[in-house]
Amino acid sequence: MPPLPNPLPDAEAQCRHLADLLRPQLHRRPALVGIYSGGAWIASRLCELLGLDEEIGLIDVSFYRDDFAEKGLHPQVKPTLIPFDVEGRHIVLVDDVLYTGRTTRAAINELFDYGRPASVGLAVLADRGGRELPVAPSLCVWEVSLADSENLVLDKTEDGCLQWRLEHV
């Protein structure tokens, strides 16, 4: 994967690119489900950019994480809201960064509690590699390499724009 560019890419432009990649699938009437928090912001932006009528779903995987016992409950747990019938639908899970695949696995587990979708795709802005599970994005606009001590974080500015930030852990 390519190294991290400096400055970081324009997250808003990446959302527009992701919308363009998703547009050919609109004939399947996909339902968007954003994973809190970055994925929820991106799903909302995609809904706007694609002019979709249906509300997006929002999913919080906190209780479905396989490291829940280790890490405990995240202090900002949000409710999962799926305002449509999942049964038989083409679902597009949306997240900001794909890394180990564990968040995606947890989201799929929770999603199946709501019904059995016809298909589940994954759309992400950034894929940083480092998979621990056999998970791959269906749609991705940026493949990037990061050190283990670095995290890519999507923030929302005061004016509602999305932007990347590099965090050293």
Per mean pLDDT, which range of 69-78, 97-106, 122-131 is the poorest? 69-78
Q: Does residue 104 lie within any of the structural domains?
A: yes
Residue 2 lies in a domain: no
**pLDDT at residue 156 in the model:** 95
pLDDT confidence of residue 115 = 97
pLDDT tens for residues 36-64?
989 999 999 999 999 999 999 999 998 77
Which range marks the domain in which residue 140 is found?
11-72+81-168
H-helix or E-strand containing 48? helix 38-50
Token readout for 47 is: 């809904």
Task: Copy the structure tokens of residue 73.
Answer: 């409950």
Q: Is the pLDDT of residue 72 over 60?
A: no
Domain-embedded: residue 4: no
Number of domains observed in the structure of the chain: 1
Give Cβ neighbours of residue 110 (< 8 Å, ≥ 6 apart): 59, 61, 63, 64, 80
- Would you say residue 60 lies in a domain? yes
Decide if 118 is inside a domain. Answer: yes
Q: Do 104 and 98 form a contact (C-beta atoms < 8 A)? A: yes
Instruction: Kindly report, residue by residue over 122-145, the tens digit of the pLDDT.
Output: 999 999 999 999 999 999 999 999
Confidence of residue 160 (pLDDT cuts 50, 70, 90): very high
CATH of the domain at 59: 3.40.50.2020
Q: What is the mean pLDDT of residues 109-125?
A: 97
What is residue 18's predicted lDDT score, i.e. its pLDDT?
98
Q: How confident is the model at residue 114 (pLDDT cuts 50, 70, 90)?
A: very high
DSSP secondary structure, 115-168, as one string: ---SEEEEEEEEE----SSS---SEEEEE----TTEEEEEEE-TTS-EEEEEEE
Q: Is 147 domain-assigned? A: yes
User: CA 143 to CA 160: how far, in whole Å?
Assistant: 25
Q: Is residue 1 part of a domain?
A: no
Confidence of residue 24 (pLDDT cuts 50, 70, 90): very high
Residue 43 lies in a domain: yes
